[in-house]
Structure 1
Amino acid sequence: MESVRFKNRTWDVAADLRLPEGFDRAKKYPAIICAHPIGSCKEQTSGSVYAERLIELGYVTLAFDA
C-alpha cells in the first residue's frame, strides 16, 4: 500500500493506492476506486476490506481518505 496525495480543482486529496502482487508498470490492469460512506474512514470500509480482496484478483485500487 502506498499513501498518495494529489490536488483536484478544489481540494488536496489523500488516498491509499494498492497494487496487485507482482505489479508491472509496463502492463495494463483493471482499476477500481473504492469509495466509502460519508463520515467513515477508509480503514474501516473499502480501504481495508474491498480493496484487499480486489488486489488479490489483480485489480489496482484507490481508496480516498474521509
Structure 2
Amino acid sequence: MFKKIRFKNGAIEMVGNIFFPTDFDETIKYPAIVVGHPAGGVKEQTAEIYASKMADRSQSL
C-alpha cells in the first residue's frame, strides 16, 4: 500500500510515494527510511522497487 505525496522544497514542487506495511496501524509509530532514486532515474522504477520491498519486510520486525 502506498500514498502519493507532494510538497514544496523552496520554489520546487517535490513528488513522492510513501509505502506502508500491509498491517499498517495509524496509532503506532514506525521507523522510516527515505529512499532517493538515482540521478536521471524515475521514482517508479529503482527507488520504488526497494521501498516497496522494505515496507513488505517490515512486517517481520
User: TM-score category by the smaller chain?
Assistant: 0.7 to 0.9
- Partner of 2:46: helix, strand, or coil? coil
- Greater strand proportion: 1
- Greater helix proportion: 2
**Cross-structure match for 2:35:** 34
Structure 2: gaps spanning 5 or more residues:
none
**Identity between Structure 1 and Structure 2 (%):** 36
Root mean square deviation of aligned Cα: 1.5
- Partner of 1:46: helix, strand, or coil? helix
How many corresponding residue pairs? 58
Amino acid at match of 2:51: A
Structure 1: gaps spanning 5 or more residues:
60-66
Q: Normalising by the residue count of structure 2, what TM-score does the alignment of the two structures yield?
A: 0.80
Give 1:56 deviation, angstroms. 1.1
| Relative contact order, higher structure (CA 8 A, sep 6+) | 1
Q: Normalising by the residue count of structure 1, what TM-score does the alignment of the two structures yield?
A: 0.75
- Partner of 2:17: helix, strand, or coil? strand
Q: Is the 8 A contact 1:6 1:13 kept in 2?
A: yes
Larger radius of gyration: 2
